Amino acid sequence: MAVKFLNNLDLVGNQIKNVILDVQSGSPSSLGEGQIFYNSASTEKTIKFANSNASFKAVLNVEEAGLATGEIPMGSINKYKLEESPIAFNKSNNYIVFSTNTGLFLDGGNLFDSKGNTGSAGEVFSSLGRGNGNLWVTAPGYSKWVLSDGTNTQDISDGDTVTVGGGTNITATVAATDTVRIDLDDSVILAGELTVQGNGQSSFAGPVTIPATPTAGTDAASKAYVDDVTAGGLIYQGGYNANTNTPNLETPNPNKILKGWTYTVTVEGLFFTEQVRVGDLLIAEQDAPTTLQNWTTVQNNIDLATTLQIGIGNVIQPLSSETNLKGINVTYNKPGTATVGLDFDELVDKGAATTVSDFVILNSQDPETRKDNYKLSLSDLAQYVGGGSSFAGSSASGTTHVFTHNLGSLDVIVQIFDNATSETVYATVDRTSTSVVTVTTSKSANIRCLIQKVG
């Protein structure tokens, strides 16, 4: 079933691609001047159009006896009148004549100009010679071409040889008749800087020697430099009994503790008069530390959480009697790790008792309040999900159809269908105001209009 348009189509200068004309086995009902179709009848095979009298006239016969599909005989061209010069047709000699004497035609495999002359070997046809009647001129010979390096140029004349020479660390080799190969030497010393561009990785088969100490933030770092700057990193030494000071971290003799040595408290006690508990970390901040200030203490003991204290807490599901708190599902997959999700199956279905005054939860998408939640009444929600935001109306005849929807917005979706066939049709739609949509058809139409507010 064809899609119907009730108004004209304006393609604004764009083309219609891969189109097939309306194929009819005879003449269809006339729709008026300009109608065009293809008559596929065996005696026709003709493109036809309707003239000002709405009568169908042939445009072109595209098939002739004995011709392959798509061919048009030269002999039939004189059947059609060309309204404008410079082209005319010579029926007796069967060739095209150009009034400017610059035409060409092919006869028996030979190329002739419009005066019947053909060129000699080495000559080409040129319209520049029409002033003196000589349309055939000697083909120009090769003179020169220009070789350039972007700054300097060199003329290369006929017979000259171009030599591609190598340079520092570069060798040029003629590898074949039409091939010059440019090679880079195995050992290359660059006096300037080497820049390697690209997003991929670059690799070296052997070690690369670089300065021992980088000077810029983007310089590569040598092994010696990395070893030096990472000295003093965290080095785990084992457990520490703070009750007995074992191993001796307060007054070791000799004191061989190094910066970065790290201990875990296994028995609580005092460390340089500071209370430490099981699980705390002790990190030396310098070699041979002697005071509490020479150490970093990372506490691991955290008290239970309260409304005023951040600490260790627990999350459990609501009791079976707390039906108004259900809806959150809590599952512990492993100790200390909880998975929290929505579980509406446990909630009570309000069903018929639901009223427009009831609320749903709304999360704000305003950048300033995105983390805030709000409530939204069902009556307000209806405005966004279809309730009170649509319109349907009919217009039985005429070419201008006015539909007053009173939805208070230009952001409306409009669809039209034929009242008689219920098929979707297309016409010009104008959102005349926030309350009115006007549909225009080229001919009188019986349509129904559906309008939906968006947002």
State the pLDDT at residue 185.
Answer: 80
298, 324, 339 - which closes a domain: 298
Give the Cα separation of 236 and 283 in Å (integer): 9
State the pLDDT at residue 33.
Answer: 85
State the pLDDT at residue 75.
Answer: 42
Domain annotation covers residue 143: no
Domain annotation covers residue 442: yes
pTM score over 0.85 = no
105, 121, 138 - which closes a domain: 138
Q: Which residues contact 52 (CB under 8 A, 6 or more apart)?
A: 33
Q: Which two tokens stand for residue 84?
A: 């404008």
What number of helices (H) and strands (E) belong to the chain?
A: 2, 32
**Same-domain check for residues 367 and 415:** no
**Same-domain check for residues 291 and 242:** yes
Q: Which two tokens stand for residue 89?
A: 């047709």
**Same-domain check for residues 115 and 133:** yes
Query: Three-state SS for 98?
Result: strand
State the pLDDT at residue 96.
Answer: 43
Domain annotation covers residue 182: no
Rounded to the nearest 5°, which phi and psi values hold at 228? -70, -45
Rounded to the nearest 5°, which phi and psi values hold at 328? -110, 125
Domain annotation covers residue 59: no
State the pLDDT at residue 69.
Answer: 39
Q: Into how many domains does the chain fold? A: 4
The enclosing H or E element of 378 equals: helix 378-381
Domain annotation covers residue 95: yes
State the pLDDT at residue 110.
Answer: 58
The DSSP code for 246 is B
Torsion angle of C-alpha atoms 58, 62, 64, 67, degrees rounded to 10: 170
Domain annotation covers residue 271: yes
**Same-domain check for residues 377 and 423:** no
336, 361, 381 - which closes a domain: 381
Beta bridge partners of 113: 104
The domain of 247 spans 235-298
Strands 56-61, 46-50: parallel, antiparallel or unpaired by DSSP? antiparallel
**Same-domain check for residues 373 and 403:** no
The enclosing H or E element of 267 equals: strand 261-267
**Same-domain check for residues 376 and 394:** no
pLDDT in tens, 19-77: 888 899 888 888 888 889 888 888 888 888 888 776 787 775 544 433 333 333 444 33
Give the Cα separation of 175 and 443 in Å (integer): 76
The sign of the dihedral angle between the CA atoms of 260, 265, 270, 274 is: positive
Q: Would you report the helix, strand and coil content of the chain in percent, each value rounded to 5?
A: 10, 35, 60
Please state, as a whole number, how many other Cβ atoms lie within 10 Å of the Cβ of residue 380. Answer: 13
> For residues 128-140, b (16+ Cβ closer than 10 Å) or e, as one string?
eebeeeebbeeee
Rounded to the nearest 5°, which phi and psi values hold at 131? -65, -35
Domain annotation covers residue 209: no
Beta bridge partners of 171: 183
**Same-domain check for residues 426 and 373:** no
The enclosing H or E element of 173 equals: strand 170-176
**Same-domain check for residues 112 and 134:** yes
Cβ atoms of 135 and 103 within 8 Å: the answer is no
Cβ atoms of 262 and 236 within 8 Å: the answer is yes
State the pLDDT at residue 183.
Answer: 84
Give the Cα separation of 258 and 231 in Å (integer): 10
Low-confidence ranges of the chain (pLDDT < 50): 62-102, 106-108
Of residues 250, 279, 251, the one with CA closest to residue 263 = 279
State the pLDDT at residue 163.
Answer: 83
Domain annotation covers residue 117: yes
State the pLDDT at residue 252.
Answer: 94
